[in-house]
Structure 1
Amino acid sequence: MSTFGTLFRVTTYGESHCASVGCIVDGCPPGMPLANSDLQPQLTRRRPGQSNLTTPRNEADECALQSGVEAGVTLGTPIGLLVRNKDQRPHDYTETDHYPRPSHADWTYLLKYGIKASSGGGRSSARETIGRVAAGAIAERYLKLAYGVEIVGFVSSVGKIHMPQSAEDEDVDDENYLNLLRGITREKVDENLIRCPHEETAKLMEQRVLEAKEANDSIGGTVTCVIRKSPIGLGEPVFDKLEALLAHAMLSIPATKGFEIGSGFKGTEVAGSKHNDAFIKKENGELGTKTNRSGGIQGGISNGEDIYFKVAFKSPATISQEQSTAKYDGESGVLSTRGRHDPCVVPRAVPIVEAMAALVIMDAVLIQNSRRAAAASLPPLATPLPPSMSLPTKQQYQKAVDELVKE
């Protein structure tokens, strides 16, 4: 489906080489200041043609608010967003009239719908993610204004080149890495073209991408994302746990092949005695965890710690090399691709990951707030609940929220 979310609903539209792409956002609270300039920075970070590490397709990706905003303030009605395609070259894709491109969606779309877009990847193209990024910028603006939420993504690996994460093989919670997550900013991430905050690793990553580009080939990588100051209590057990919603969101992004949260797969290699997150009383007087191997989520519910996860992106399927494959009729042949493509998608994937994270948290916040509002309308209980059932109290929860807003 082309719609994501329950209360904060986003519907994207458009193909890679049609007249425009964009989205409809339904469920945005009224009274929030919003202008095109609030959305453009993330779209600019996502756009093609921004460096020699990305596709040379040159699109400004300038967004235009079409509805739902008046006098610079949201009305609470559906917000329409449009971005026009300008640098279109559908003639670059005539070979797909004869060949389904290897590892692309040409064949599966044709099998499913009985018809497909004639140029580019159609709806399977990363061009579709423009609507996601614009909608994510709206969600992120609300989360920042209402709760002080911070969402930052960065490239953590390209091919076999990884930025430092653990000091030892069994160290799943290296303090230097967690300190990086606590303080990383988008400004720091954008200091280099590859968007890796570790300078030495970034240079090696850039060199690896250029090697792939010069060989008319491609390479994959991973993007790590941290969500700071998220409200507690987000997530809907048992089937809509917060990590499940994040995984759903991330794996819906084109070219994704894996998702892990907190200690991830490495957490399977150490004993529970080393992996468990013990509870402590923090400096602000609230209960928290000493470590954060859970990645800020326990039992599918956010616990107030930083939420962090990693998303794997495959090497782009479209490469400018001759490939032996088969035509639609099964006859063997050689495919030569002429389109403009990213040798590695991860630098441009960073704002897309951030956007999808914002959409998940925004939707979860609205759902949790509706639950708390409904519970607050009930008369007080005649018999107080035991401590183990009543913590945190409504007052404690509200205090935590108020502190986040003040910050």
Structure 2
Amino acid sequence: MSTFGTLFRVTTYGESHCASVGAIIDGCPPGLTLSAPDIQTQLSRRRPGQSNLTTPRDEKDLVYLQSGVEHGVTLGTPIGLLVKNEDHRPHDYSETDLYPRPSHADYTYLSKYGVKASSGGGRSSARETIGRVAAGAIAEKYLKEAYGVEIVAFVSSVGKIHMPSSTPASADSEDDDVTGDVPSSEFRELLSTITRADVDKFVTRCPHPETSERMIQRILRAKDAKDSIGGTVTCVIRGVPAGLGEPVFDKLEAVLAHAMLSIPATKAFEVGSGFRGTEIPGSLHNDAFVAKEGGGLTTVTNRSGGIQGGITNGEPIYFRIGFKSPATISQAQATAQYDGTAGSLAARGRHDPCVVPRAVPIVEAMSALVIMDQVLMQNARSTAAGRLAPITTLPPTMVLPKSN
């Protein structure tokens, strides 16, 4: 479907080459100060044509607020917003009338609907994510003002080039106890302090100078070969209160995975220590609790990535998403036409040789939509429980005291 969320619901619309793309946001609390510039910042970080590492398609991606806001304040009613498509070239896609692009969604969309957009990938295009980014900017503004939540994503790998995130193992051994620190203390420190300004200093959006330079060369190599390359984006969410997330089927990491894997070109998701955590015995992997300054508990290592039992524990949430190499390339590929006739396709058009630098604000937006929805659900539960008399029949260790 084209709608995401339970209480903060976002419906996106539009194809890559239609008149406009955008979204309807339902469930935004009233009274939030909001104007187009609050949204434009993230849209401008997502837009094409930012550097020679991205598609040269020249879209300004200016957002127009259509409803739900008066005098710069949200009304609580649905917010409508749109962004016009201006620099599109349908004639660049005439070959796709005959050929489904390898690893693209041309064939699957046609199989599902019996009809498909004639150019640009339609709804499977990254142009669809404009509505997500705009809606995410609204959710993020509320989360920042109400809770102090900070969301920062950055590129952590391109191809086989990875920024340092783990301390290497102390020895080559199959012994489970011989392992490096996952993630390293230096990487955990980066997650606790990194800002979007730090990320945007680099054209690759990788905040590690030496790695960023190697990434540039790798992306340019793919571009020169009329090819493409994939990579990963890491995201950290700071300031999230403990207690968010639903038990069993809607665990927070499950909802985050749903959100992230709905982004075009995604193929993998891991939270906290992720797959590296499978290599470490529990005695070394477990997050020990210690007293937190000001009351409550915190953890020493946060290998859980801020989520335990599907519910936030108050530590920073961090996760990584894998993006495949873009499917549309200008290099000739042997493939088949829709009728099965063998042939060769060299796609025209303007395409990203690597999507991960532009995926950063999309990941941040989907993170904001997830946390916003969870906050509203938890607030509904807490408000309902708060109207009841305090529990006095259970041991104090079983009941969290109600706050005033």
Q: What letter matches 1:196 in structure 2?
A: C
Q: Of the candidates 190, 194, 209, which is equivalent to residue 199 of structure 1? A: 209
Q: Of the candidates 304, 310, 332, which is equivalent to residue 320 of structure 2? A: 310
Q: Of the candidates 378, 392, 395, which is equivalent to residue 386 of structure 1? A: 395
> Which aligned pairs between 1:158-177 and structure 2 lie closer than 5 A?
158-169=158-169, 170=179, 171-177=181-187
Q: TM-score, normalised by structure 2?
A: 0.97
Give distance in 1, aligned partners of 2:289 and 2:389. Answer: 32
Q: TM-score, normalised by structure 1?
A: 0.96
Q: What letter matches 1:135 in structure 2?
A: A
After superposition, the CA RMSD in angstroms is 0.8
Residue deviations 1:108-131, cap 9 Å, x none?
A: 000100000000110000000000
Superposed displacement of residue 384, structure 1 = 3.7
Contact 2:390 2:402 in 1 (8 A): no
Give distance in 1, aligned partners of 2:168 and 2:196. Answer: 28
Give distance in 2, aligned partners of 1:165 and 1:288. Answer: 22
Aligned length: 394
Give distance in 2, aligned partners of 1:268 and 1:187. Answer: 33
Unmatched 5+ stretches in structure 2: 170-178
What residue is the counterpart of 1:68 in the other structure? 68
> Which aligned pairs between 1:36-55 and structure 2 lie closer than 5 A?
36-55=36-55
Give distance in 2, aligned partners of 1:236 and 1:99. Answer: 44
Superposed displacement of residue 285, structure 1 = 2.3
Contact 2:42 2:134 in 1 (8 A): yes
Q: Of the candidates 255, 264, 268, which is equivalent to residue 258 of structure 1? A: 268
Q: What letter matches 2:36 in structure 1?
A: N
**DSSP 3-state at the match of 1:133:** helix
> Which aligned pairs between 1:2-401 and structure 2 lie closer than 5 A?
2-169=2-169, 170=179, 171-381=181-391, 383-391=392-400, 393-395=401-403
Give distance in 2, aligned partners of 1:388 and 1:269. Answer: 34
Give distance in 1, aligned partners of 2:53 and 2:7. Answer: 37
Give distance in 2, aligned partners of 1:99 and 1:128. Answer: 23
Residue deviations 1:68-124, cap 9 Å, x none?
A: 000000000000010000001001001010001000000000010000000011000
Q: What letter matches 1:385 in structure 2?
A: L
Moved segments of 4+, more than 6 Å: none
Give distance in 1, aligned partners of 2:239 and 2:168. Answer: 29
Aligned-pair identity (%): 74
Give distance in 2, aligned partners of 1:229 and 1:384. Answer: 33
Superposed displacement of residue 183, structure 1 = 0.2
Give distance in 2, aligned partners of 1:336 and 1:222. Answer: 26
Give distance in 2, aligned partners of 1:40 and 1:346. Answer: 20
Q: What letter matches 2:277 in structure 1?
A: G
Give distance in 1, aligned partners of 2:380 and 2:353. Answer: 44
**DSSP 3-state at the match of 1:25:** strand
